[in-house]
Every structure is written in structure tokens, then in C-alpha cells.
Amino acid sequence: MPIILPISDLRNYTDVLNRVDVNKPVYLTRNGRGTYVISKLDDYDRETTVENLLTEIKQGESSAKNGVAVPIAKIAKNLNIQL
């Protein structure tokens, strides 16, 4: 179950940060609407990596449809992977 708190709870930010865990972000609301998310850095890094990978896959699919080959070394460099 998600942890949803009003942004005013940040007055006691230590308590809020202690509730954040891996795969368990804390959602903050302002005037009853979702506004912010606090998550662990590992979660953020993983989501960023997945997003970058999906972008590369889409570019690869587009290149394949157009008959343009992209060298594997370029793809690895874009994803910070050593071959």
C-alpha cells in the first residue's frame, strides 16, 4: 500500500524520510493532489536506467525500419556499458 502524506508533514522531515524504503516511495500531496515523490536513490537510478534503455530500444527499432545500422559500441557507450 502506498504511503501518502500531506506536504505539511515535511516539518518533521526525518520522520518522513525514515518511512522511505526501497520500492516504497513516499508520495506527498498539496491541497489533496499528488505533487512530489520521495524515493531511495537506488530506485531512482534503476528507473532512469530503464528509461534510457527503452529510449535506445525505440531508436534501434526506428533505425532498423529505416535500414540504418547502429554500431553496438555506440549503443554500449550511450548506456554506459563496457564491452
Residues 25, 47, single domain; the answer is: no
Q: What is the pLDDT of residue 35?
A: 96
Handedness of CA 70, 76, 82, 83 (dihedral sign): negative
Tell me the CATH number at 19: 3.40.1620.10
Handedness of CA 8, 10, 12, 16 (dihedral sign): positive
Full pLDDT tens readout for the chain, 83 residues: 899 999 999 999 999 999 999 999 999 999 999 999 999 999 999 999 999 889 988 888 888 888 877 788 887 888 888 87
Residues 8, 30, single domain; the answer is: yes
- Residue 28: CB atoms within 10 A of its CB come to 19
Q: Which amino acid is at 27?
A: Y
Q: What is the pLDDT of residue 62?
A: 86
Is 74 a domain residue? yes
Residues 7, 35, single domain; the answer is: yes
What pTM was computed for the model? 0.68
